[in-house]
Amino acid sequence: MPDLPKETEGNNKDTMNSETDKLPEQENRCTEIFSDTLRGYAGIQEVDYDYTTGSLRAVYDPRLLSNERALEVINHAGREASMRVAQCEAKRKRGEEACQQCAGDLARQLKHQYESAASLPTANFRRNTIEVKFNAPRLTTSENVEIEATFLAPAKEQKKPSGIPVEKLEIAFTIINAMTALTAFLGTGWGWNPVLIIGLYFVAYFTGGWFGLLASIEALKEKTLNVDLLMILAALGAAAIGQPAEGAVLLFLFSLSNTLQTYAMDRSRKAIEKLLDLRPAQATVRRGSRLTTLPIEQLTLGDVVLVRPGERFPIDGEVISGTSDVDQATITGESMPVNKQADDLVFAGTVNGTGSLEIRVTRLAKDTTLARIVKMVEDAQATKANTQRMLDTFEQRYAVFVLIAAVLLIFVPWLGLGHEFQPTFYRAMTWLVVASPCALVISTPASILSAIANGARNGVLFKGGVHLEKTATLKVLAFDKTGTLTSGSPNLTSIQSFSDLAEDDILRLVAALESRSEHPLAKAIVQAAHKRTFSLPPSTDFRAIPGQGVEGNVESRHLWIGNERMFLEREIEIPDQVAQKAFDLQNNGQTAMFVYSASSNEFLGLIAVADALREDAIEMIKSLKQSGIEHVVMLTGDNPKVAAKIAERAGVDEFHADLLPQDKVTVLQSLQRKYGAVAMVGDGVNDAPSLATADIGIAMGGAGTDVAIETADVVLMSDDLRKIPFALGLARQARHVVWQNLTFALAVIVILIASAFGAQLPLPLGVVGHEGSTVLVVLNGLRLLVYRA
């Protein structure tokens, strides 16, 4: 087994994927089984499952699983596998829909063999996959091996009546349960044959409890308990003491509640699924002089795609001809169409306006911005908030307590105190129902998942419930200046010559060197040179010096172009005349750069640019402060005088200037020590270290920016600053709804328990209270789907 690289835990993750067919109504039960199987074993750091996509994740110690043992895991789970660089994929295709307990099979093998050696299993039933990420030693890229394995144990399959959609079967069973239970109840009063009555109740119990029974059996196989088991036991207990009608009512309300929950939670899932539905299945591709229609999966990089007026873009690409206004609301959340012309980027799922565009494919169908958004939101929904983790741990222990207490409530009064068996048993069955924590457990995910789905629809991507929860607590925000508070598109404002060179010559030399740089200030200089139709000479030996400037050779001159720090560190004295002019420019809010020839040891001139404050920045900061943000900070690598001007106009409370990337990290750490949780807002590229350091990293302009999506905790898909108050408001509203649900669920449990023992609450009323509270907290959480700032 190769040594692990010396890096932080969690950075070295391999992936295993398994494909299964979909059985929708079993999703949540199976992910619960998967989660409960892994939870509680030494070395397991985190277990999450997602109600909306059926995803489950578990984090383990990264040092105990070799590549060979990883294959053993897959073998014993009963699938085919291929292992390649940092990735294992297992696929099993079936002609019939398979039971989702295959997730439990995989988890069980992991539990028994590798208690602390895997990482991040995910069962995503919407995409028909089970994915397990584990911290095995990373294969080197030179190995790039592919290993095929045959499997020992085929996954279990559950057959269903052919021709009946599985998702409708549970609804049909619930209706049959209600009809047969009601008929049996009425028939008893009308004096029907007892055998017929028993038969009707048998059908009612079978249809009302079938799915719960399956889930209970699987849970018991994994040595766990679930709420389904408590309900089944209570119903059977009612029948055992001669109260079959009450047991049938319990099963009807329980199955009806589950059906309603499935329908309600499905709305969060569909909010994400609809995004992918926006992408056309086919594209019109130019092949020489011919146009042909191809499935988007067959498109390759560089293909030319024609998009006519009113059509949706089928793929991400770069415009090569034509001009049009494009509605990008599905990706960026922008309310107004954006003009697109040659060299502009367009995204799959957005809508073309009135002009025809030809685009060159820049991403494959599986890698489009839209596909990455959906994948990221699904991953986010599988990452639990801390409140939800706490409740999951509580649920297992509480379920055991409820069952033990029910046994004691039967035998202690009956055998120990001499009470009659039937009322004692009846009271214990009522306890099983009213004490079950259904509403409590579902209260958090219903809210968190709805908030994440709403954010995604509006161009705000939270990378998980934990980040949503932490965003709600923020009191301090730090902003990068360039491209965040300012437009990020500075303009050339001044050229000063202190040599024999004309101003145009200085601009031509500087632009030749800055054309090699990606900095926004460099781009402003190059654009100004192009506007003057200069032909730029070649440059060599280019080198960017972070936080200072650039250097290189142009026309036999070795030039240094940068700020004051560049020359102070090299102990090069700046002439008073040059320094004074730079001082004046900076006092006017311009960024001055010195142009120095190391070949002749002279300052050739000054060149200045200015970046305007964004129009919506002032209102955004006012909105943040009104919403409860206590301190707003601006961080920039610009000089203090320019920073002071921008900070004053923007209305920030504090600013730090002349910062290198590592200096921004230091400032953030200082803010964290002083204020607690701090968010950093940046562009996600040059601010990557700062975004990673902050408690919450918020990247702007994530559409098309891989680094933004990978680095930040929250991604704003557009450059709209108004999305920041929206994100904070949504997170706070989600926290408010979660606490509403928790308080309500706990109150109902307490009231029902007190009523069961104090007022002899009948079992049917206990069921109504229990299931009704569960449905109500789900519906309350779904209100977040329509939240607006």
Q: Give phi and psi for 304, each to the nearest 5.
A: -100, 120
Nearest CA to 101 among 60, 59, 56?
A: 56
**504 is annotated as an active-site residue:** no
For residue 490, give both structure tokens: 């500075």
Sheet-wide strand order for 338-340: 338-340, 324-327, 351-352
Residue 389 backbone class (left: φ over 0; alpha: ψ -120 to 50; beta: rest): alpha
Element (H, E) at 396: helix 386-411
* Cα end-to-end distance, the chain, whole Å: 53
- 221, amino acid identity: K
Helix, strand, coil shares of the chain as percentages rounded to 5? 50, 20, 30
Q: How far apart are CA 137 and CA 70, in angstroms?
A: 10
CA distances in angstroms from 112 to 132, 170, 278, 419, listed in the order given: 16, 33, 43, 45
Q: How far apart are CA 279 and CA 270, in angstroms?
A: 15
SS3 letters across 246-289: HHHHHHHHHHHHHHHHHHHHHHHHHHHHHHHHCCCCEEEEEECC
Nearest CA to 713 among 727, 701, 697?
A: 697
Contact between 654 and 758 under an 8 Å Cβ cutoff? The reply is no
Cβ neighbours for 99, distance < 8 A, ≥ 6 positions apart = 23, 26, 30, 155, 156, 157, 158
Tell me the torsion sign for CA atoms 384, 386, 387, 388.
positive
Contact between 301 and 315 under an 8 Å Cβ cutoff? The reply is no
For residue 274, give both structure tokens: 């609809």
Q: How far apart are CA 643 and CA 68, in angstroms?
A: 56
For residue 676, give both structure tokens: 């607690």
Q: How far apart are CA 70 and CA 783, in angstroms?
A: 43
CA distances in angstroms from 529 to 77, 234, 499, listed in the order given: 64, 81, 20
Catalytic residue among 21, 48, 61, 480: 480
Q: How far apart are CA 183 and CA 203, in angstroms?
A: 11
**Hey, which residues are catalytic here?**
480
